[in-house]
Structure 1
């Protein structure tokens, strides 16, 4: 349930393993757009697809393990999904600017403790070679050779194409209720669908982010999630960028991502705004990079903007990966890392389903 990147990627992996899969989401009635439009988008289609798995301060714990596993799996995912009709590739590297001397010191310590992870500290002298000049806080930066981004729209197009190839049933409807079946019934669950076509299934995987809460409440599971809005701007540079010489795939400044898009265009995002309504003041603050924007960015023209919603678990760490009861898996609430953690999430779901099948047999 849920046809964002996480749900679609999980459905593809389960089909690859030979499972019979049905994926349900009203979004399946719509084609994946070629580019973001000036309208409300869901979390996946509004995402910038940033993959920050190695440039992560922790070196233990669940969040670190999930990031590491996903970054290990991403190259094989891209290789399998890449096709002339839906080309796909990883864009690297990622550079994170230090906002203070303390942050620069933490970056230097991180690069020294992870010598084989493709992390390097860059001093200010090396940062001055880019054209147009980067926004700088004057404290250096950390380069991650293996982090970067993947285009989420192209990824969704490739995944949906692969679902069709694997004969996955695409049901463009909402699941409004889940009903447990009796232990004597051949199937364990019934999906009550908004289109009136109910479905008996063995297992349910919920990947529907903010849509998960009501379904789970009816079953007695309390997993509240809050909406956090993120805005993205598309800017046209008045200063020609000269093919963005020296720029990485993703430049991060104070938590804001700058992504070159074509010769003289730039995507900039994304904000962290509680609720579902975009704040114009937050938009302006983001565009000015909290006061660090160089003159060429201040002078750029706004071509378009969009926003999407992320699901942040309340009082629980993101993401929510749980077997709530036999045959009911929750893989949701990825907050800002839905695209990044999709491969590891799909693997987790596949492992639990295979384990359940072995136990039941």
Structure 2
């Protein structure tokens, strides 16, 4: 396993649980999981807010829909097995999406009516709860998703690291520089690290997001990905009446996530910008919720901010789940949904490895 974000560590843990002998390599394994995201050298996991939006998804068929549905079915079991006093973990629900137009409202009404078993409910604008502090008011109602929400990505990564250790997974804090195919009696793969070490394995799973192309291209596989910048602002609210009454775990407005935490604090985050350079105007638009921010939000004090890069596949749908050749698997490019899709990704990897074992002569 190359890459130790949530997708890589989650997949390594799942494989170990199924009886596979697993090695995971990533320089980040040399350091403990950070306590907070602010001021760190962040990757897709440590910069994430961990939003799980699997049920309130507008499609009802196709691979993206199936992956979301499968992950949401698996998440409760994952959290139950990973939860521990040293690494407490819970699925925080619900998620409420504020609706920005009449057309969107019509689509979401139809969606909620077609999936009552999924915990979706459309709430008309005049029936919205009296929240304190007050929600932004686009004016077209909201979609409540009872089973969507978030999981704390840093707590999740801590829990997975602990589970890897208990499962006997070999965790190597090294950077893999290149891969070598082995042939004849030595079939399999050789992992060559930056410090000159070599490790022989039967199968390789690449979960390195933007670093994937550098490992694949020398082997003749072209899977380019573009960097997209995710931004988070950490805001302190002057007064919080009634302890965030009627606020969900995740509130979304204009494509921006609002997540309350730590008493009077609020995270404001979205994946907004292509490239790796922060655009101050994009941050300002996010802070204003595209002109919908209530006065209390406009007056909030900026305590901190951070950003991280997401990997979006070029000219291919996210994520990239492919068996590129025998023993070489790519499970990367999840874009905005790495945390959400980790359980389904891990299950897919296990199926590919098990099927290859069954069909091998």
The TM-score bracket by the shorter chain reads: over 0.9
User: 1:100-249 alignment to 2 at 5 Å?
Assistant: 100-185=101-186, 187-249=187-249
Contact 1:23/1:168 (<8 A) preserved: yes
Match of 1:278 in 2: 278
Aligned to 1:189, the other structure's residue is in SS state strand
Take 1:48 and 1:224, find their aligned partners in 2: how far apart are those partners?
Answer: 25
**Displacement of 1:38 after TM fit?**
2.2
Do the aligned partners of 1:230 and 1:272 also contact (CA within 8 Å) in 2? yes
In angstroms, what is the RMSD of aligned CA positions?
0.9
User: 1:271 Cα deviation (Å)?
Assistant: 3.4
Q: Which residue of 2 aligns with 1:63?
A: 64
Comparing 39-48 with 203-212, which one deviates more in the overlay?
39-48
Task: Provide the rounded CA distance (Å) in 2 between the counterparts of 1:34 and 1:292.
Answer: 32
Query: Structure 1 regions of 5+ residues with no counterpart?
Result: none
**Structure 1 residue 140 displacement after superposition:** 0.2
Aligned partner of residue 346 in structure 1, secondary structure: helix
C-alpha distance 321-271 of structure 1, shift in aligned 2 (>3 A): closer
| Partners of 1:271 and 1:286 within 8 A in 2 | no
Structure 1 stretch displaced more, 151-160 or 124-133 = 124-133
TM normalised by structure 1 equals 0.98
Q: Distance in 2 between matches of 1:240 and 1:144?
A: 24
Residue 18 (structure 1) aligns with: 19
Contact 1:39 1:307 in 2 (8 A): no
Task: State the partner residue of 1:265.
Answer: 265
**Aligned counterpart, 1:98:** 99
1:31-42 counterparts in 2 under 5 A? 31-42=32-43
- TM-score for both structures, normalised by structure 2: 0.98
Contact 2:271–2:336 under 8 Å retained in 1: no
Q: Secondary structure at the match of 2:205?
A: strand
Change (3 A) 1:244 1:13: same
- Provide the C-alpha distance between the structure 2 equivalents of 1:239 and 1:74, rounded to a whole number of angstroms: 35
Alpha-carbon displacement from aligned partner over 1:237-260 (angstroms, at most 9, x marks no partner): 013243111000000001100001
**1:242/1:263 contact within 8 Å kept:** no
Q: Contact 1:93/1:250 (CA < 8 Å) preserved in 2?
A: yes
Q: Which position in structure 1 is the counterpart of 2:250?
A: 250
CA distance in 1, matches of 2:93, 2:35: 21
* Structure 2 residue matching 1:44: 3-state secondary structure: coil
Q: Which residue of 1 aligns with 2:303?
A: 303
Runs of 4+ in 1 over 6 A off after TM superposition: none
Equivalent residue, structure 1, for 2:350:
350
For residues 271 and 312 of structure 1, the distance between their equivalents in structure 2, rounded to whole angstroms, comes to: 11
Stretch deviating more after TM superposition (152-161 or 257-266): 257-266
- Partners of 1:183 and 1:117 in 2: CA distance: 51
Residue 10 (structure 2) pairs with residue 9 (structure 1): yes
Residues in 1 aligned to 2:127 and 2:194: alpha-carbon distance in whole angstroms? 57
Secondary structure at the residue paired with 2:315?
coil
**Distance of 1:149 and 1:47 partners within structure 2:** 10
In the aligned structure 1, how far is the partner of 2:240 from the partner of 2:54?
32
| 1:30 shift after superposition | 1.1
Q: Distance in 1 between matches of 2:196 and 2:219?
A: 20
Give distance in 2, aligned partners of 1:222 and 1:271. Answer: 25
CA shift for structure 1 position 183: 2.7
- Conserved? CA contact 2:227–2:274, under 8 Å: yes
